[in-house]
Structure 1
Amino acid sequence: MLLIDHYAYNNKLAGVHPGEKFLFFAVTVALCLALPTTFTTLVVTLLMAGAVVFAAGVPWRFYLKLLLLPGAFLAVGVAAVAVSVTRAPQDFIWAIHTGQYFAGITRQGLDNSVNLFLRSLGAVSCLYFLSLTTPMTEIADVLRKMRMPTLVIELMTLIYRFIFILLEVTRQIYTAQSSRLGYKNTRTGFNSLSRLILSMFIKSYRQSQAMYDSLVSRCYSGDLHHLSEPRQWCARNILLIVTVDSALLLCSLYAGGLV
């Protein structure tokens, strides 16, 4: 079991109605994307970090490692936004001249890249809150009640399940290769890695077919049903969500509005 899935089932907010957590996620991520100010994105990121670490009880080291993964990817992506290439010289903060072209960083490009990075990181933190506090079955149940197309829910659920199959097959093959000194040096490591990738997809395909056959043998007709624990909506939690998001909206409008 992935640690993300482990904490989704074992956290302090596991007993909270999934609709309440989904509502908090949806409203907050909407504010983060609709009010793309530095203040809003920073507050959303810190708010979700506090909700995950303090309210849900997820270890902060693990949460920080999760944020570093998309953070590194976003840093590389926004670097292309910050750099401008042109023939005419502009008000560059830093630039290099190569032939007829100038490549450098302008103030506007730097502001756009920082804004994009913070907004994306804020949206990712909202998604982490939902995935670390709510199991996939409960998310699918909420989407089903929202009249989400059944095909979308089925694909999401099956893909999520196949991730575990893929990781388990990869772990088994890697352990078998390591026990035979398959990664003792760079040359054998690359050779073993290529074989691992090939075997991984072949065995994953076979296991996915076996999983589908088991579903069909249990009268699967394109609709997966999950047992959900009945929970009651809590008026106090709803009031807390409305209060927090309303305060965030008012402070964001005061800090910079929609620009």
Structure 2
Amino acid sequence: MRAMNISVDYYAHNNSLRESSTGFKMALCIITMIISVISPTPVIPAIVAVLMTLIILFVADIPASYYLRFSAVPLGFGVLTLVLMTFFFGVDPAATIMGLTVYSDGLQTGILVFSRIMGGFSCLAFLALTTPVNEIFHELGRLGVPPALTEIALLMYRSIFVFLEEASIMYHAQDTRLGYSGLRNSYRSLGLLAGNLFIRSWLRGETVYRSMESRCYMGSMPALRKKSMGLRGMAMIILFDGLLVTGLLFTSGAWL
């Protein structure tokens, strides 16, 4: 878990789209995700998932092995949703597999939900893996979100990582001492970890806050302002999402 969390921040700071406009990446993510989610056909969300994945892998240069691990949870959730809807939701039986009835309308709905999940996730993954969190919150502040809200959210985000890192350090320390070698030892080690985790996280958080104060923290975390989206960025978004909307209009009637 620790490696996954560190990698998200690492790739957000080290990718080929790092210096691109934050506003451009946020607009592309949000608009494309909305188109994907509202689509009544699975074709457009599937296209979004494929295109965003290609951008992540070949434009942002995110390693394919890491992206596969990163998308494993939503992919598994989507497959589970597809299976459950196929066999347990619907009114139009189509076939029987090992005593379970396959519903054609359930399968159709499951495919739609699965494609929406992957389309929406790929958009969020694009933003998360190419843009540092502090720049996202800074851009939200420029859009009118109250500064207090963005700073609290950023501190909470950092605190979550402190909590997870402490849990990972304690777990690996116990594991190297055979703390999880048996059921009894596992319960004992888990209890010790849970009992000390809050205290250690609290102390670590205090240390982080004192470090911030020693670096002149005054209640805000300024970020280097990137170049604006510009006409070229706006044109790219209009062209990209315009083609998706056009495809949505053409495919909606055929699916319905």
TM bracket (short chain): 0.7 to 0.9
Return the alpha-carbon distance in structure 1 between the equivalents of residues 150 and 73 of structure 2: 26
Shift in Å, 1:33: 1.1
**How big is the alpha-carbon RMSD for the aligned residues of Structure 1 and Structure 2?**
2.9
C-alpha contact (below 8 Å) 1:7/1:58 kept by paired residues? yes
Tell me which amino acid in the other structure corresponds to 1:165. V
Who is 2:96 aligned against?
Answer: 94
Deviations 1:52-79 (A, max 9, x none): 1111010111111111122113333454
1:188 aligned residue (185, 195, 200): 185
Who is 2:134 aligned against?
Answer: 137
Return the alpha-carbon distance in structure 2 between the equivalents of residues 78 and 192 of structure 1: 38
Return the alpha-carbon distance in structure 2 between the equivalents of residues 22 and 91 of structure 1: 43
Structure-2 change in CA distance of 1:45 and 1:186 (3 Å): same
2:161 aligned residue (148, 159, 164): 164
Counting matched residue pairs gives: 251
Percent sequence identity is 29
2:33 aligned residue (29, 34, 59): 29
* SS of equivalent to 2:17: coil
Deviates more, 1:204-213 or 1:112-121: 204-213
* SS of equivalent to 2:88: strand
Tell me which amino acid in the other structure corresponds to 1:245. D
Unmatched 5+ residue regions in structure 2? none
C-alpha contact (below 8 Å) 2:92/2:105 kept by paired residues? no
2:208 corresponds to 1:206? no
Return the alpha-carbon distance in structure 2 between the equivalents of residues 30 and 38 of structure 1: 14
Who is 1:43 aligned against?
Answer: 47
Unmatched 5+ residue regions in structure 1? 98-102
2:111 corresponds to 1:114? yes
**Structure whose residues are more often helix by fraction:** 2
Deviations 1:136-158 (A, max 9, x none): 11100111111123344233212
* SS of equivalent to 1:93: strand
Structure-2 change in CA distance of 1:168 and 1:91 (3 Å): closer
TM-score normalised to structure 1 length? 0.84
